[in-house]
Amino acid sequence: MMEFLIRPLLLILLIAQMQSAQDSYKAATFEYEPEYIPDDPLETMRLNAKEFEKQIEIVSKEYAKIIVFPELGLTSIHLPNRSALSNWSIEVPDPEKNSLPCNESGIHEVLHKISCAAERRKLYVVINLVEKKDNCLYSSNVVFSSEGRIVARYRKYYRYNEFGEFNRPKELNATAFSTPFGTFGVLIGADILYEEPARTLIEKNVRQFVYPLAWVTVLPFSTSYQMQLTWSKTKDVTVISAPYYPGREYVVGGIFMSAGYDPKAARLNSAIVDIVPRKGRVSIDEISQSVTEPIGNDCVVRNKDIKLKIPCSTGIMRSRLQ
């Protein structure tokens, strides 16, 4: 009689566990203070890419489906002036080409390594790098699928106490990518201080965001952790943020979820993994769009007292809040 009662209960528990697994996934983020070798950009990026590969392997063993790495995590914040910045840059294939750097020749070795790691460990990977496009240099997020393909690229538009003399893209584009466990918007740096592109993404029902950042904290009210926690709760979204470690003893990022869930703080130089509720998938066909009016025909780099005009057809970058 007892066995007759137990079997249905076990079946119910099994079904409940399966349903729970379908309603959530595991996400990872990595707070990091990158290696930096002065005047050696390639070796600097090699060392940091190697650390990224290591963390990808670690979190894959915990069944993570996605990992986010920090803004400037490959290069560090110790970037040279404009004339030498190109040496730290990488040409990134257009995501529309569905490129698989792991299997392609003529691809920068950093893209090759990260692509192969994503493919080998079967998880989505988000990195930030210095992207070179013609005569312009951008701070760009690049997203790799679990097959190692480049599926999204997002160029930084807003600057605030910026590291590096980057160009500003001509247009601010709302950027998203889809996975089997939901659709994600892509943010960077000071984006959460501005209405766009988050407003457009949220209006399209995107409720999950990946967010590499190198935050400049302004006490007492503009701390990274405080801003992200508040933003995720008020917008009712999940934010997977990967912070660049600033060399100070305070938390600057982590995994932030909507109301009813506790955040999980990042941990220095060690990836964290947390269970995240799914927020659903939406069509990204109508999301990848410009959300600003095109600006100018030249790139102008303005960082502190530096003003450098470059023959480039992709806009203006300023270092102050606008």
Classify residue 9: in a domain, yes or no: no
pLDDT exceeds cutoff 70 at 311: no
Q: What's the mean pLDDT in 102-121?
A: 97
**pLDDT at residue 316 in the model:** 35
Average pLDDT, the chain: 82
Classify residue 40: in a domain, yes or no: yes
Contact assessment for residue 32 and residue 73, using Cβ atoms and an 8 Å cutoff: yes
Classify residue 11: in a domain, yes or no: no
Q: What's the mean pLDDT in 7-21?
A: 42
Copy the structure tokens of residue 31. Answer: 């707070």
**pLDDT at residue 94 in the model:** 96
The answer to whether the bond into 220 is cis (omega within 30° of 0) is yes
Nearest to 187 by CA among 241, 225, 244: 241
**pLDDT at residue 270 in the model:** 81
Residues 164-210: pLDDT tens digits?
789 989 889 999 999 999 999 999 988 988 999 999 999 999 999 99
**pLDDT at residue 97 in the model:** 94
Residue 43's contacts (CB-CB under 8 Å, 6 or more residues apart) are 37
Residues 243-257: pLDDT tens digits?
888 666 555 788 998
What share of the chain has pLDDT > 90, as a percent?
56
Contact assessment for residue 136 and residue 299, using Cβ atoms and an 8 Å cutoff: yes
pLDDT exceeds cutoff 50 at 307: no
Separation CA 237–CA 200 (nearest Å): 14
Q: Which letter, b or e, does each residue of 258-276 get, where b requires 16 or more Cβ atoms within 10 Å of its Cβ?
A: beebebbbbeeeebbbbbb
Classify residue 22: in a domain, yes or no: no
Whole domain around residue 89: which residue ranges? Answer: 27-317
Residue at token pair 């927020």 = 279
User: What is the domain-level CATH number for residue 214?
Assistant: 3.60.110.10
Residues 264-300: pLDDT tens digits?
887 777 888 999 988 767 776 767 666 765 454 444 4
The pTM score is 0.84
Number of separate domains in the chain: 1
Classify residue 7: in a domain, yes or no: no
Partners of 270 in beta bridges: 267
**pLDDT at residue 322 in the model:** 29
Separation CA 93–CA 112 (nearest Å): 12
Classify residue 8: in a domain, yes or no: no
225: confidence class by pLDDT, cuts 50, 70, 90 = confident
pLDDT exceeds cutoff 80 at 220: no
Residues 42-53: pLDDT tens digits?
999 999 999 999
Separation CA 273–CA 108 (nearest Å): 29
Contact assessment for residue 163 and residue 77, using Cβ atoms and an 8 Å cutoff: yes
Copy the structure tokens of residue 56. Answer: 């990808």
**pLDDT at residue 248 in the model:** 60
Classify residue 237: in a domain, yes or no: yes
pLDDT exceeds cutoff 50 at 309: no
Nearest to 155 by CA among 141, 144, 166, 143: 141
Partners of 31 in beta bridges: 268
Classify residue 15: in a domain, yes or no: no
